């Protein structure tokens, strides 16, 4: 955990308990210490989120460049991550959750997909490791890094039973909702990247969306119910993509 040494006193403005009651006693020579450190904390918070946003933007652009004119060409930030981020901000409003952890988890949850050498089916595990490395390098508090890591690791359906925090469910909800906004790009995975037939591609998308729909919190299901029913009745590519 990053700490500041001043007047032989060790203190930190990043931990979840800030500003704890010990602070004014420890830094008694500065009566404005809580406000001063609160300002610094605010500054650091916006910087870490922006730094991680830049990280995923850079890696997405590199991946897009590497896959240019191939069936894998994709910019995961532009086509997916930015929407997941938008939804976590929306869904965490007025909830007793760590919004900063959620923003970081949203920005980094699919980061391993920007590395061609990593197995996509284990992208949650690799993503959790990459996020831990990046956050630790940026002196992000260990406790909160572990929460971000847990959100990323458990956003995959097969890790459903390991979820235990509201932050984890919000990330899953945001991920699921964003998929309903990106049906066309979702269809291009089986049809373009995997080279499946039209019939199998339709089934692939329906299977994926069923998983997303089932994992959504009950109060959010009505938001996408109509679209979900229409897509489940789809028979061809046009019914799915609308083109």
Catalog residues that contact Fe ion under the rule CB under 5 A: 110, 175
Residue closer to Fe ion by CB (options 27, 155) is 155
CA quadruple 95, 100, 104, 109: dihedral, nearest 10: -20
Residue closer to Fe ion by CB (options 64, 175) is 175
Task: Determine phi and psi for 239, rounding to 5 degrees.
Answer: -65, -30
d(CA 104, CA 174): 13
Q: Which of 212, 225, 147 is nearest to 174 (CA)?
A: 212
Please, are residues 169 and 217 in contact by the beta-carbon 8 Å criterion?
A: yes
Whole-number minimum distance, CB 41 to Fe ion, in Å? Answer: 29
Residue closer to Fe ion by CB (options 116, 236) is 116
| Helix, strand counts (H, E) of the chain | 12, 2
Q: First CA to last CA across the chain, in angstroms?
A: 52
Whole-number minimum distance, CB 180 to Fe ion, in Å? Answer: 12
Residue closer to Fe ion by CB (options 98, 175) is 175
Distance of CA 205 to the CA centre of its chain: 21
Whole-number minimum distance, CB 138 to Fe ion, in Å? Answer: 22
Whole-number minimum distance, CB 174 to Fe ion, in Å? Answer: 9
Whole-number minimum distance, CB 231 to Fe ion, in Å? Answer: 18
d(CA 215, CA 157): 8
Residue closer to Fe ion by CB (options 97, 108) is 108
3-state secondary structure of 80: helix
Count CA atoms within 13 Å of residue 143 on its CB side. Answer: 7
Whole-number minimum distance, CB 114 to Fe ion, in Å? Answer: 12
Residue closer to Fe ion by CB (options 198, 215) is 215
């Amino acid at each position: 955990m990053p700490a500041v040494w001043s007047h032989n006193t060790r203190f930190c403005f990043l931990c979840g308990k800030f500003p704890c009651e010990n602070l004014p006693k420890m830094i008694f020579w500065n009566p404005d210490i809580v406000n001063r450190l609160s300002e610094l904390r605010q500054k650091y918070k916006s910087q870490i989120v922006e730094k991680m946003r830049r990280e995923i933007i850079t890696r997405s652009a590199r991946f897009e460049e590497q896959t240019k004119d191939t069936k894998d060409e994709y910019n995961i930030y532009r086509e997916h991550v930015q929407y997941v981020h938008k939804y976590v901000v929306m869904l965490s409003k007025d909830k007793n959750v760590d919004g900063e952890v959620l923003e970081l988890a949203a920005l980094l949850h699919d980061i391993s997909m920007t590395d061609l050498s990593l197995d996509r089916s284990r992208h949650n595990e690799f993503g959790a490791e990459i996020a831990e490395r990046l956050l630790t390098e940026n002196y992000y508090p260990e406790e909160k890094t572990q929460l971000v890591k847990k959100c990323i690791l458990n956003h995959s359906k097969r890790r459903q039973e390991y979820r235990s925090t509201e932050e984890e469910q919000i990330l899953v909800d945001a991920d699921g909702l964003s998929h309903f906004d990106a049906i066309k790009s979702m269809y291009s995975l089986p049809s373009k990247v995997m080279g499946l037939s039209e019939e199998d591609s339709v089934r692939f998308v329906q299977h994926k969306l069923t998983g997303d729909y089932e994992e959504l919190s009950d109060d959010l299901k009505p938001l996408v119910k109509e679209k979900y029913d229409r897509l489940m009745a789809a028979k061809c590519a046009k019914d799915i993509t609308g083109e």
